[in-house]
Amino acid sequence: MSKEKPFPEYKRKLGPGWWLANSHFTQYMIREWTSFFVAVFSLIYIYELSLFASGARADALNLLKNPGVIAFNVLALLFTLYHAFTWFYLIGKVQPIKMGKTTSKPWQALLVNIVLLLIVSFAVIEILVLR
């Protein structure tokens, strides 16, 4: 028997604006875009390190003080925090912890991870920067 269908089926393709159709999709895509900011931040950071390593300390400091670089760093920080917080929340959804008869909620994982992030961040600043 022929497998050919008597009439054509209509196949739809996902358009480029699919992520605007739903607020969850938009939030997801913003999280995906954070990788762009992290990548550019890393490139700037590596370049700064190379300036320090080659002895061009003044150029490196000038780059650090550049308003454009500062603005970009603030933006990159906001995107990175957005990424971190949404992932912390997802950890709670993906790995709920059973405690007796109750199971942990995603917001609890978010809270615990934010506290841990703050502790580690302050420890790094204290040990590597302030000392």
Binding site for other proteins (CB under 8 A): 7-12, 14, 18-19, 21-22, 24-25, 28, 32, 90, 93-95
CB of 57 or CB of 93, closer to other proteins: 93
- Write the CA distances from 45 to 23, 29, 41, 76, 91, integer angstroms: 33, 25, 6, 12, 29
Quote the least distance from Cβ 22 to other proteins, whole Å. 7
Residue 103 has phi, psi (to 5 degrees) of -120, 140
Pick 4 or 9: Cβ nearer other proteins: 9
Give the nearer residue to other proteins in terms of CB position, either 51 or 83.
83
Q: Tokens for 96?
A: 């709920």
Backbone φ/ψ region at 16: left (φ over 0), alpha (ψ -120 to 50), beta: alpha
> Minimum distance between the CB of residue 26 and other proteins, rounded to whole angstroms?
11
